Structure 1
Amino acid sequence: MSSTKKSALRKMSKLWKTVRSLPWLHWFFGATCVLAGVAVFLWGGELIRGNERATGVIVTVFSILAGFLIAVMTLLGDQSMLPGSWRFASVYKTRIRAKLTRQKWLFCLYLVTLAIIFVSSLLGEKHQEVLVWLERVYFGLATTAFTLSFRLPWTLMAIQMDRLDAVVESRRAGSPKIEKN
C-alpha cells in the first residue's frame, strides 16, 4: 500500500474517531431508539397482543443481553486492565464512569422490561384492560432496549482500543513496565 493511501486511511480513521466521539451522535442515536419504542407502543399493540412466542423471545434475548452487559460492565470497571500509574487511571476515570453509567441504565431498562412481562404474565386474562396496556408498554420498552443494544459491540471495541492505545502510549513514553494495580 502506498504512503499516500496509508496517510489517507489514517486521516479517515482520525475523522471517524472525532465524529464518533461527538455527543450529538449519541443523543441522536438514543432519541431514534426511544422514538422507535414509542412508535411500537402506539402502533404495534396488535403484534404482541396474546403472542406468547414473541414474549418468550423477548425474555430469552433480554436474559442473554443482560448477561453480556454485565460482562461489558465488568471489563469496564476492572482496574487491573488499566495500564500505567494512578494518574493515568484518574484521566480515564470520567470516561469509564460515563460508559458504566450508560450500561447501567441499559441494564435497568432490560430489568424493567422483564419485570413488566412478569407482571403481565401474573395478571393473565383476569384484567384484560390492564394487560393490553402492559403488553404495549413492554413491547415499546423492548424495542427501545433492543435498538440501544446495537451499540454494545462498539462499546466493547472502544474499551479494548482505549486500553490498547494506553499500552502503546505507555511503551512509547519509555515506561519500564506496565503496572497491573
Structure 2
Amino acid sequence: MKWLPKNLSLLILLAIIIAGGISYVAQPLVHASPNANSVIINVFTILTGFLFAIMALFANVEYDSSVNWRQLEVQESINQSRFDKLHFLFYLYLAVLIFVFMAVLLKDNKQYQNSLFLVCLEYFYLWLTSFSLMMSISLPSKLNTFRKNKFNEAIKDKRPQP
C-alpha cells in the first residue's frame, strides 16, 4: 500500500477521528434498529474466528537454521511484531462483542432503554467497531506479504545462482 503515509501514528490518529465521526452518525440509526446489534455481533464473531485462524497460521513459524543467531533474532522480532498486532486486533474484536452484548442487555431492560448510559455505550462500541475495522484493512496485504516471504525463504537455496 504505497499510497499510505509512512507515519503509523498519523494513520492511527486519522482512524480514531474517522471512527468518531462514524460513531456520531451511526448511533441514532443503530439505537432505532432492532437488528443492527445482531449484524455487528455476527460480523465480529466471524472476524474473531477468522483472525484466530490467522494467528494460528502466524504462530506456526519455521526459522531458518542455516543463518546465524543475530539473523534468527531479527526474524523473531519481526514475527513477534506481527503476532502482537494480531493480538491487538483480536482483543479489539472481543471488546466490540463484549460492549455490544452489554448494550443488548441494557436495551432489553426498560429502565435503561433510553438512558444516557446506553447511548454513551452505543457511541463507544460503534467507535470501537469502526476503529477495529479500519485497523483490519491492511490484514489481507499482511497475509500476502507473509505468504510471499515464506515462498522466498523456501526457494532461496533451490534457485540456480547466476
TM-score, normalised by the number of residues in structure 1: 0.74
Query: Which residue of 2 is the match for residue 42 of structure 1?
Result: 24
Instruction: Say if 2:35 is the partner of 1:53.
Output: yes
- State how 1:1-181 maps to structure 2 within 5 Å: 19=2, 23-24=6-7, 26-80=8-62, 82-85=63-66, 87=68, 89-124=72-107, 125-127=110-112, 128-172=115-159
Q: Matched residue of 2:32: which SS?
A: coil
Deviation, 1:84, is 4.3
Quote the RMSD (CA, aligned, Å).
2.6
TM-score, normalised by the number of residues in structure 2: 0.81
**Could you tell me whether the CA contact under 8 Å between 1:33 and 1:144 is conserved in 2?**
yes
**Could you tell me whether the CA contact under 8 Å between 1:41 and 1:140 is conserved in 2?**
yes
State the alpha-carbon separation in 2 of the partners of residues 122 and 21 from structure 1. 39
Measured against aligned partners, the alpha-carbon deviations of 1:52-104 in whole angstroms (never above 9, x if no partner) come to 32211111111111111111111112124x44447454331111111111111
Q: 1:21 to 1:35 in 2, by over 3 A?
A: closer
State the alpha-carbon separation in 1 of the partners of residues 134 and 99 from structure 2. 18
Q: 1:126 to 1:172 in 2, by over 3 A?
A: same
Q: 1:22 to 1:133 in 2, by over 3 A?
A: closer
State the alpha-carbon separation in 1 of the partners of residues 111 and 88 from structure 2. 32
Q: Matched residue of 1:52: which SS?
A: coil
Q: Report percent identity of matched pairs.
A: 23
The gaps in structure 1 that reach 5 residues or longer are 1-15, 175-181
State the alpha-carbon separation in 2 of the partners of residues 53 and 89 from structure 1. 50
Q: 1:116 to 1:171 in 2, by over 3 A?
A: same
Aligned residues: 155
